[in-house]
Structure 1
């Protein structure tokens, strides 16, 4: 495991683990030092805009999107490009049969003879659509999984959900699918609406619940890696339980083991009008140094417009000023995409 991965795991563990006793004596440690002002726009790298969920962020043009994952109203959404080397009808049939084969290898719950409960077609949903109900967990006979594959034109889309009511799941996925619009790369000019952006499309539905979007970027010449995640939150975070408070506890208790941690920049930082917290750290383990950049906004309860947001960047040590410019450019670019579609 890399140093930055060790540090990140420690920080994230502290972010989700109740350590009230530690916080009582260390929660202000991370906020006492004045934060260095973010760099100016001078030297900002060439950037590419990526919409992710209900936000958009600029990423250095050299970086590539490695993976984007999203969940909307309990449904996981997975998109893929159709193969250009085979007819569309064949490509759809192959994707469908491959998924049925994977499902068929699962173990049915006790008392059930087979995993697959039912398959059906959905006329009027895109150019073509099929769905399958099945038992996805052999330990839970009451729980039903429902996967739908539909042809959205420029891409194929899998939507997956699980629950106990076939009717409710079918209604939910049908609503999401019909609200889906395919989107070409770089196209952010959609009509006004309540858009939730996926990797290859967008869904025009307002926030309800269970909404998450995440993306990972790699491939920069400076070997920086970037992750952004937004997720709904069900509770208000207590004072002192944020990134800075937990960092103080981490340093006071040496929770990161033998990794020495140097603060480069820590403090409160407003991004896209959201009052978050920032840490930029150098981790040193036996002379091997890595950089860790984190910005976190705790979010508002049950809000699609103000979800919990975590942005992370990591790299080996060196060329810190260039990396600070990249980091500041990324944070300064974050903007909401809800409401106008632009």
Structure 2
């Protein structure tokens, strides 16, 4: 078996989630027979390089990337690993960058016939001048994950408060029409979409708290939706994975307006190249439903690691 370095932590708003993911993955890798080194990534490139390519002795055989958010899943850490020619899990530089940039991934999705919600990129400060589209609509940072910074603007909501909250994430935001109905997600392993899960949060929407707090969201797998919706969601998830050029494991998030006929109310929201790997996370849950144990999933990811030339 391999010596696997699990990169976790980082300094994005998703640091705590990454630490939980990393610890869980490290345990699964050990159960799968690997020697595991856990590494909490700091903003110190030299230290990371020295760890991966030590002057004396051999570095890890494979990096398991359990980082979430900016610098961990947007192509940055992937670029470092490519330069060092260290094999690593999940997607490469371009796919990671495209998926993390929500406006760019929307362009890719629509280019291959995947429907997205009506939306546009606006200057954050323009929100202070009034609504960019009829309410309800969704305001989200263009390059964050785990629903960090996402706001649904409904009638009576204070738009100035939303604009102020978005200030931490840059000068531009993505504004999308709010799609009522049901939240769906599909994990993809390589060339196969595993299953469709419906998420029923007990909060107003599936936000950061609902994702990572036990008991707040009900997970229904397989999702109790019509067969044509189920299959369309799986097909789009795999299509999006392939169109972005993803490798290994990914997870697509969708909304389905069940008040519309057939699949006409289904839209793609985004694709996650580094889906959560916590005990509450959706991709491992779908793998388990499909009969893939936690150590088996970890071994599959190591076996399918990218190997830079």
User: Which category describes the TM-score, using the shorter chain as reference length?
Assistant: under 0.3
Structure in which a larger fraction of residues adopt helix: 2
Q: Which has the larger radius of gyration?
A: 1
